[in-house]
Amino acid sequence: MSSTPSSIKQSSNVNNAAGGGHGWPRRNQGQPHHDGNKFTASQALTINRPINLYPLTNYTFGTKEPLFEKDPSVPARFQRMREEFEKIGMRRSVEGVLLVHEHGLPHVLLLQLGTTFFKLPGGELNAGEDEVEGLKRLLTETLGRQDGVKQDWIVEDTIGNWWRPNFEPPQYPYIPPHITKPKEHKRLFLVQLGEKALFAVPKNYKLVAAPLFELYDNSQGYGPIISSLPQSLCRFSFIYM
């Protein structure tokens, strides 16, 4: 099997512990608890969180008009970020992690621009916009079908928070202690795909399915956020449908 992302063929015909000891918090009245190995149903769901993965071949991919970035260059992007920070404060961004499987291996759907740039679908939230609703809007703008059929995006869980301390490219999975005003907060969400779906990919992007083993420890090829996805996702129990 190739260790590189599988390019997806597109067609153009569719548009706490109990509080006895010093320093331990006391359990709240409604907090789930366990007795030995007897866990409550809600704990079992959290500890063994199942996520259904369907084969890549279950999905149809078409094309639609190009989707361009707001900024023509990296310097322009950070200049706009500076200007907006003075007006509305920290930028909030969301991205969706969409999973499929091939040969019983989880793959992440990524948008590829050019030969070396990969990104997760998502983008910037509007001022005051809810994160989940904003992600659904952005997913529809990026991959939503063009035939008028409403896309149903099921946002399952938060799988990562990343912070940009300065008006510069580096982002971190924590806020550095000397930073009081981060410039951007990016939250990653796991999106549960349905059994079958049709997506429309902007013509200037290529959609690829990247196996987790290709992303793992590969920040040189995919950047720190995407290459950390295998660690972020390993707490889930994948069910291959």
| Cβ–Cβ under 8 Å, residues 188 and 120 | yes
pLDDT single digits (tens) 184-229: 999 999 999 999 999 999 999 999 999 999 999 999 999 999 999 9
Q: Which CATH number fits domain 59-240: 3.40.50.2300, 3.40.50.150, 3.40.980.10, 3.90.79.10?
A: 3.90.79.10
User: Where are the chain's structural domains?
Assistant: 59-240
pLDDT digits (tens, 9 = 90+) for 49-65: 889 999 999 999 999 99
For residues 46 and 124, give the distance between their C-alpha atoms in angstroms, rounded to a whole number. Answer: 29
Q: What average pLDDT does the segment 133-149 reach?
A: 92
What does the pLDDT read at residue 86?
A: 94
Q: Which of 84, 95, 91, 77 is nearest to 158 (CA)?
A: 95
Q: Please tell me the predicted confidence (pLDDT) of residue 151.
A: 85
The mean pLDDT value of the chain amounts to: 86
| Predicted local confidence at residue 11, as pLDDT | 59
